[in-house]
Structure 1
């Protein structure tokens, strides 16, 4: 498949792509992110801390959908909106980004999904709330859209999820799954089985150790690499590590003046998937991920997620990857 350095795909698409009805499907809830940034000190119970800045920004599964769209991909986002002002705010942002709305479900009640993000240059803490809403079954969404790639922004588990990822296998759909701070381990029923059917799994370092119970990050990566075809571990300012079929690749982070880390992980994921869909080798996929993640930290939320022109400029700044 022909590509240029920024990962644009030419007309010589694969036969698998021609069989798929769509290219990228993102499945997950929107969030309205209330981002407090520039905190002078950590927030502790019984104290008040003033931030240097504040913004209300679209987040949640909006971020990977928007980031993939900016990188030139055709994206359908399957999510729910209600009558509340947070739904209206994120819906307007999704339409402004040109996202396909065929996956949107509209409800006649509020569907509030809100996160307060307390952001510092090193990391962020979050407090979230979501109105309960019965999600559209994942297997049905996959059958309806038949995507080349499905992005699941957090670790999902349970019998219905296991059945859905097996449907994805039958449809020849690549399954990408992030981890997020989901309260489960490999011993939780169906988690191990689901990960064996996922094509790319992308936890951060803390999540990888918490999920596996391993004493070190390297041990956690070894365990996950024995389950998943491709494991990508985000390490923030420490860079990133990827392992695919025994090949291990490491890369340092790009030095940047960090404004907000809230959307960095999702933009990192989009960069990796953009290069992966274009057929690039593992070191190039990881470099593209680091470029997109770094770009995202230079402004609030996901507002600095790069387009193809900006991506090429960021790639020039990425350190050389190391094969270990």
Structure 2
């Protein structure tokens, strides 16, 4: 295994696997066993934690992405796209074997179904990289509660970095003490509504929000076409979704999180962070995968138009 050269301090350290997303969009109806459906379009686009790193990079943030790649064509494709975007590759780990991470996404309107596969690869401890980079923000694209993750979160807190964690359909519940522990240590948790309900076992969104907000300082629950609900202390905001000509929602959640973090790094209010996140998430749905992620001037123009500035 080879690791890239040392880097200077960054604003955001993103850790998580790449995915190569094979996106079939414009399906006239859901795919059912025993049937065939023709899509209006198809794309092979990079996804997974790539989306977070790329979307934040497009917003002008100094991002380092820690990820594993192998000798397979999917690794090569994502590495090529990362190079074209100008992503920092110094925390990439290159293995002399295939490291395949693949998702087939079937997109129909605002909804999609996905099938994924990953080759197993040993994890690397994050603590040394955190101490080297001293980022302002550490981002996890999915809920993780293993000992290595807890150690990384504790190290980030010691260094004064905020920790942002998504859920990403992780099969976990608050009945697991390890899950409760890691959530009590992160600063921002961003599940979608279905994930929040499954994680808490709650019967409604308000109950799930109350349970999770008792553990996490800042909770943001995305709700697709219904917008998002955020809770920080006694402060709650319900933000509407931004209308968009949706093609594929595969990257919407990650681009939403990128906009949220972009606002947090600027010290904006929770309501303004949600507005930035909503524009970023909506824009991502207008193209397959993550290709339509906003750039900073476009986001600034949309926010200015929304506030009349």
Relative to the length of structure 1, the TM-score reads 0.90
Deviation at 1:287, TM superposition (A): 0.4
Deviations along 1:243-267, whole A, 9 cap, x unmatched?
Answer: 1111001111111111110100000
Q: In the alignment, which of 134, 152, 157 is matched to residue 164 of structure 1?
A: 152
Once residues 274 and 255 of structure 1 are traced to their aligned partners in structure 2, the CA distance between those partners, rounded to angstroms, is 21
Conservation of the 8 A alpha-carbon contact between 2:110 and 2:247: no
Conservation of the 8 A alpha-carbon contact between 1:253 and 1:318: no
Partner in structure 2 of residue 143 of structure 1 = 131
Conservation of the 8 A alpha-carbon contact between 1:254 and 1:318: no
Partner in structure 2 of residue 115 of structure 1 = 103
Partner in structure 2 of residue 200 of structure 1 = 188
Partner in structure 2 of residue 4 of structure 1 = none
Deviations along 1:201-253, whole A, 9 cap, x unmatched?
Answer: 00000000000111101100011111101000101100111111110011111
Once residues 319 and 51 of structure 1 are traced to their aligned partners in structure 2, the CA distance between those partners, rounded to angstroms, is 38
Q: In the alignment, which of 36, 59, 70 is matched to residue 82 of structure 1?
A: 70
Q: How many residues align?
A: 301
Partner in structure 1 of residue 282 of structure 2 = 294
Deviation at 1:313, TM superposition (A): 2.9
Query: Are 2:191 and 1:235 equivalent residues in the alignment?
Result: no
SS in 2 for 1:210: helix
Deviations along 1:124-181, whole A, 9 cap, x unmatched?
Answer: 1110001110021233332332211011000001222222211111111110000011
Partner in structure 2 of residue 184 of structure 1 = 172
Bigger drift between 42-51 and 74-83 goes to 42-51
Partner in structure 1 of residue 209 of structure 2 = 221
Q: Cα RMSD between the aligned structures?
A: 1.5
Q: In the alignment, which of 255, 268, 274 is matched to residue 262 of structure 2?
A: 274
Once residues 21 and 257 of structure 1 are traced to their aligned partners in structure 2, the CA distance between those partners, rounded to angstroms, is 38
Provide closer, same or farther for how the CA distance between residues 295 and 261 of structure 1 changes in structure 2, counting only shifts above 3 A.
Answer: same
Once residues 285 and 304 of structure 2 are traced to their aligned partners in structure 1, the CA distance between those partners, rounded to angstroms, is 17
SS in 2 for 1:83: coil
Once residues 262 and 135 of structure 1 are traced to their aligned partners in structure 2, the CA distance between those partners, rounded to angstroms, is 25
Query: Are 2:89 and 1:101 equivalent residues in the alignment?
Result: yes
SS in 2 for 1:243: strand
Once residues 67 and 284 of structure 1 are traced to their aligned partners in structure 2, the CA distance between those partners, rounded to angstroms, is 18
Deviations along 1:271-317, whole A, 9 cap, x unmatched?
Answer: 01101110001100000000100111111111111111111233256
Query: Are 2:197 and 1:209 equivalent residues in the alignment?
Result: yes
Partner in structure 2 of residue 249 of structure 1 = 237
Once residues 155 and 9 of structure 2 are traced to their aligned partners in structure 1, the CA distance between those partners, rounded to angstroms, is 15
Partner in structure 1 of residue 4 of structure 2 = none
Deviation at 1:121, TM superposition (A): 1.1
Matches within 5 A, 1:14-29: 21-29=9-17
Provide closer, same or farther for how the CA distance between residues 51 and 146 of structure 1 changes in structure 2, counting only shifts above 3 A.
Answer: same
Once residues 244 and 278 of structure 2 are traced to their aligned partners in structure 1, the CA distance between those partners, rounded to angstroms, is 12
SS in 2 for 1:55: strand
Relative to the length of structure 2, the TM-score reads 0.94
Once residues 93 and 188 of structure 1 are traced to their aligned partners in structure 2, the CA distance between those partners, rounded to angstroms, is 38
Provide closer, same or farther for how the CA distance between residues 224 and 319 of structure 1 changes in structure 2, counting only shifts above 3 A.
Answer: farther
Partner in structure 2 of residue 33 of structure 1 = 21
Partner in structure 1 of residue 48 of structure 2 = 60
Provide closer, same or farther for how the CA distance between residues 319 and 185 of structure 1 changes in structure 2, counting only shifts above 3 A.
Answer: farther
Partner in structure 2 of residue 174 of structure 1 = 162
